[in-house]
Chains A and B, each alone.
Chain A
């Protein structure tokens, strides 16, 4: 029963949001606005559920003594941000923004920068011109890397324009084909979801 109800609601909301795209009537616009607001609100509640779930899992992991300090630190970080926001607000210069600027942002940027090392080591191991495809991949990557570094202009004056042409033409062609594929794939998946053919989001069996 609950599965049929969920499928029915999904169908109704899917058809409404699909149909309103083809209408400029103020009522259709109002429905669109209302449903988008509903969407944002429900999505915000899903985040709250996620936070509650994270806390639940952290408390469960705390039973293992070796994991306890990490879980406590994670929970402290999580709890401190709402507490700071509640007491001093979230405007510039508040402790909440101080935490964002001096704790979250530097660590996030450093984690992203670490990827440079892993990408470099992976490419060192993986980039071998064993076939024509691998050679093309290596060549394209090398041209882009050289053109974007200060070496680009030293090697050849033609390197930066060649890299730009590769980026705007052959690379763009493959990107476009991938985007067209994504578009068609999303369209068919959306249709399958609305018509109730695709039911994996309900969890459990496909029936």
Chain B
């Protein structure tokens, strides 16, 4: 058995010890995971973003325009001193402003218009019979949207529509729950398979 499997097996058991109760072994594994994850992200961001997009072009290819984001990035560190903290609002403003500007058309297109166009489908099939699935989708979208409409009291037709919307929402939550449980369960089975086959070698 190689050392990597032994380390991975011991650490897996340390994390699983939480099923008994919160204990020092689990806490140690948890803080190690946090530290290693941050370190990994740091290295990946440093090499793929800061080196590839900033330092290489700026210092090797002399793309001087990159001094602007470099200085803006360095301004983020001004947060650590009370006197200079307000300077960090400048790079944050660039991030927030450009993000908001990009989000408007993207959200309108991907989240709203595409979803609407996918909902508005022919309700009568080629054979002349109503397309039940298309009808369910259209009624479901309209009723669920009325549930989220808070400008008028949910009474009368609006109230009934909103109530029907909650049933659709419950179906959505139920299916999402089912898929989440199954995905977590398959991850757990994977970990158990590793423990019993590769680490403990109980199953051959």
Known contacts: A49-B77, A109-B190. The answer to whether A137 contacts B173 by CB under 8 A is: yes
Give the total of A residues in contact with B, Cβ under 8 Å.
Answer: 121
CB-defined contacts of A168 to chain B, threshold 8 Å: 133
Q: Say yes or no: is A47 at the interface (Cβ < 8 Å to chain B).
A: yes
- CA A108 – CA B105 in complex, angstroms? 36
Using a CB-CB cutoff of 8 Å, which residues 49-88 of chain A contact chain B? 49, 51-52, 54, 56, 69-71, 73-82, 85
In the complex, residue of chain A having the shortest beta-carbon distance to the beta carbon of B100: A190
A180 pairs with B27, CB closer than 8 A? no
CB-defined contacts of A21 to chain B, threshold 8 Å: 102, 104-105
A174 pairs with B77, CB closer than 8 A? no
Known contacts: A17-B101, A169-B140. The answer to whether A113 contacts B168 by CB under 8 A is: no
Q: Say yes or no: is A28 at the interface (Cβ < 8 Å to chain B).
A: no
B35 pairs with A73, CB closer than 8 A? yes
Among B34, B73, B104, B171, chain A packs the most CB atoms within 10 A around the CB of B171
A107 pairs with B104, CB closer than 8 A? no
- CA A75 – CA B35 in complex, angstroms? 6
In the complex, residue of chain B having the shortest beta-carbon distance to the beta carbon of A106: B8
Using a CB-CB cutoff of 8 Å, which residues 53-92 of chain B contact chain A? 53-54, 65-66, 68-70, 72-74, 76-77, 79-80, 86-87, 89-92
Q: Say yes or no: is B123 at the interface (Cβ < 8 Å to chain A).
A: no
A-B contacts besides A2-B89, A103-B11, A170-B168, 13 pairs, CB < 8 Å: A6-B90, A9-B90, A12-B97, A13-B97, A37-B66, A44-B46, A70-B28, A73-B32, A80-B35, A116-B181, A133-B166, A170-B140, A177-B165
